[in-house]
Chains A and B, each alone.
Chain A
Amino acid sequence: MTTEALYLSPTAKLPYCRGCGHSLVVRQLSNALERLGLPPRSIVLTTDIGCVGLADSLFPYLHTVHTTHGRSTAFATGMALADAAMEPQGLKPIVMIGDGGAMIGLLHLVHAAQLNVDITVLLHNNFMFGMTGGQHSALSPLNWVTATTPDGNSIPPLDILALLRTAHATFLARQFATSPDLATTIADAINYPGFSVVEIVELCTAYGTRWNQATGASLKEIADRQGYAIGELETEIERPTFRDLYRHEQNVRKPKRAKPPVPRLNTTAQLKNEVRVVLAGTAGERVQSAAALLCRAALSVGLYSTQKNDNPVTQGSGFSLSEICLSPKPIDYTGMECPDVVLAVSDEGWKELQANGTVAACREETLLFVDSQIEAHPPMGCVVPLPLRREANPKRAALAAIAAWLENNPLLPPEAWDAALAADPAERRAESLAALEVGRRLGGECVKSS
């Protein structure tokens, strides 16, 4: 097989209108590939929608992926990203996209530039949508007459290369389709190890030259008027490609140690039926982590548990709430039709319980352990006010509330807490144990007094 046969055959019948700039590009792409002598299977031609997307069948020995409007860059990026994580690697996607596709898929170009993935984008800028009948695009020059701007375009055109420069693209070039340097520029772009773009300024002969006084020679005039630099543009200094970054990360990153499983104790819990507990407080005061600790303690004595958390939309302020079910058997329904136990450790938390219907759902048997500062008057249930915030400090009040409740209803043996806390750093464990101690004391006092 000669290299010629590997790329575009000189006798290939091109699918474009006579004189269409796209036909010059495919020939120069083929020349560039021949010059580089890359193995054809290391290349994937990723084409967009539009006339520009008709190129696939012209390159019978390359992998081809014909995609959706504007998304070719994103599919190519996905292939290049995956390639960076594979062995052996070395895939080179070449994207062929029009000015229409470039705008609808602008975000994909920007992100590919930021990532510096190893893809080459050939942006065929013929100033309009060819395939759909010559409508104007975001890259149409001022006064350009199109099917949708019969009096001339009045919106200034976008300079995509300037935009991609701000996304830290490090290879940016612009050439006329008619330029003798086009093949060299394309070859340089493909050879470049990161993200590269060549904007090719060309004409749509079906619509562009029909409605505008434009020839190949006037392309330079248009470019000058728009301040479009031609050739390989100067960019910021080189920076690592995505491949480099991935390789580096693989070398420096250590697997995270997962939290060890909770040890299973020989003791079993004193629990016959499911209990449903609602724990409410203020965000940032370790409400949800106290609930998680309760579930871990329950797990150590063979109980099943579910935990659901709730916050306002902003996670760092306002109420913080956990709903916990503990059960000797697997738990189906996780809702709180009527809670068995309500633990409220801040006013914010209590207000949320009022707002979300928990307070109204309390029954006569519901036990409510609430901080003494809260004005809690539920229609039903037994309220036990305790100075949790004062005695245990606000950040440990939730855990203390759990301990106070359990002192009155000893479901869990003390060892369960040791098991739950085993994996925590010493300082944190000591804090938690102190909170549990305060809770037990407060809970014990109220047992005595009742």
Chain B
Amino acid sequence: MIEVRGLTKRYGAVTAVDDLTFDVAPGKVTGFLGPNGAGKSTTMRMILGLDRPTSGSALVGGRPFPRLAEPLRAAGALLDAGAVHPGRSGRDHLRVAARTHGIPLRRVDEVIDQVGLGPAARRRVKGYSLGMRQRLGIATALIGDPAVLLFDEPMNGLDLDGVRWIRRLVRGLADEGRTVLLSSHLMSEMEQTADHLVIIGRGRLIADASFQEVMRGQGSGRKVRVRTPSTDQLAGALLRRGAVVHPSGDGELLVEGVTAEVVGDVALEEAVAVHRLAEEHSSLEQIYLDLTGDSVQYRVAGAPELVAQR
């Protein structure tokens, strides 16, 4: 169980994390989602006491993490897989971790096997691939058999096999009743992985709901795609009906707020030819973009604007 309450972090003028409050429940994989720079890593670092919050607090298993005598037994984390002394072997890195908690050497070899690091564990970390560093980081997170796990973008840069492996791992950990918080900036990584989503943008909470709820909540905002030679005339008429209209190139309009029937009727009234008319269901990625759209700090230049202002 992780409890985040009013967590805020400012770096000078930048508010990286802005009054975040949410819980992460045990027995589930909670996806922590947001565009790059949304504040995911900063939040995780504050939960672990690495960065000091400007205000607010976070509890891990009911207690502030930085006060724990045996923190690795409460929570394990993979934040930055590269953050290991390059001159030490993977196994020695794990031995140091074990020694801080009086964990026996047997357990070190156990987690090395569990993550499949094998004989590479005795080589220096300097020569590890990203995938091997991720595995070492995960072994470190698991060594204290903790009830809470935090993984910051663990799939970043991994090949498909690596991604599948992480999916199975986090599913297994959650099924054992552990609390799993898994961050990503890609909605696609959450499909088949997360049971619950905490979505943030610009440091603020955007959604805290089950995966299905997020899908359904946005599914109601269906869109209608219509192709016509008279885009301006049809767009004007639809805007007067209260619809939101986006041009979508090639003589097409993307219409929100009215049904396909209404679009067809309006076209008939205006005596405008319609060459295509279809309802569109949002894709997972689209839902995510819609949710976080306002929060993305750097938009791609030339993004579509409204045809006309209401």
Same complex for A and B? Answer no
Interface residues of B (CB under 8 A from A): none
Interface residues of A (CB under 8 A from B): none
